[in-house]
Homo-oligomer: A and B are copies of this chain.
């Protein structure tokens, strides 16, 4: 079935497959101590403009969030996130499972508004009872957000400054970072992100890899015994090579950027085609995820032929669904989509 359900419906990009085959019989040490992990780390140091960066490879996004957040927070601290942040609602309580509260702020287009953050931190400091409250110990952003939106340079700078003035680390979840960097109107480079945040991760799973996320600590700020923390949370891959090789490939010859650009181009074409056909968008997204409001009966009809993702109930009669493109989307997929949608509309008009 034609699928726009998500950006993790195919395997891995060809370059990765090929490299896995080429290196397969090399005998390498485990747990990320192999030369491909080292090579990938060096390439990421270069791409981020952080020659001192320490890079760790984990398997998936929720895992990465739980390991990074719980390793940085003190026991009496929580992580500040937008109420629509992935850690707030779609990780089955993975952060709370590590004993920490997610301190939720209102969302604006899926983002934290710097003014809301400033106000929250100010009020916390001023609250005479704050010893009985969870201390804000970290700020979590997703970029792109769960609604495909992006922080502008100005917004990220503002948030970064607030965090630094309160001495609170800033963490950016880049599960779809490749699609953000290629986003329409994006004005943030990978290096700027690296320098404005204290720690962030570059998503592989959704951008061309079988699995894998690269956590980047820019400035000698890795939590003590981080390898042991990773192990303790069941997140240390024995064959770390699987992650190292994939990121080594993604950060060779600009592949990561190319994959991102392709998906965003496909998304732009998707958006244009849907708008031309009169579909209503739930939010305006400049990246690879597009959110459309569908009448429930139309949705059911479409879902017989096209796989999309349920996002949320809109009202009694409407649902928000997500169409996602990815590095693997082909132009033929779009053509196929138009054919199906046009046929459905024609049938409905009868």
A: residues with CB less than 8 A from B are 1-3, 5-6, 8-12, 14, 17, 20-21, 23-30, 59-67, 70-71, 74-76, 78, 89-94, 96-102, 104, 123, 126-129, 131-135, 205-206, 210-211, 224-225, 227-229, 231-239, 241-242, 307, 310, 312-313, 328
* A239-B205 in contact (CB<8A): yes
Bound complex: CA A183 to CA B297 (Å): 51
- State the Cβ distance, A210 to closest chain B Cβ, in Å: 5
* B134-A96 in contact (CB<8A): yes
- State the Cβ distance, A172 to closest chain B Cβ, in Å: 18
* A233-B20 in contact (CB<8A): no
Residues of B within 8 A of A238 (CB): 8, 60-61, 205-206, 211
Residues of B within 8 A of A211 (CB): 59, 237-239, 242
5 closest residue pairs by CB, A with B:
A63-B234, A11-B24, A128-B310, A92-B231, A92-B232
Number of copies of this protein chain within its complex = 4
Q: List 16 A-B contacts (CB under 8 A).
A: A9-B30, A11-B25, A29-B307, A59-B237, A71-B75, A74-B225, A75-B232, A90-B132, A94-B231, A94-B232, A97-B232, A101-B102, A131-B225, A131-B227, A206-B238, A210-B239
Bound complex: CA A228 to CA B6 (Å): 19
- State the Cβ distance, A151 to closest chain B Cβ, in Å: 24
- State the Cβ distance, A204 to closest chain B Cβ, in Å: 10
With A10-B26, A11-B239, A211-B242 in contact, do A92 and B76 touch (Cβ < 8 Å)?
yes
* A234-B94 in contact (CB<8A): yes
* B30-A132 in contact (CB<8A): no
With A210-B239, A231-B62, A238-B206 in contact, do A132 and B91 touch (Cβ < 8 Å)?
yes
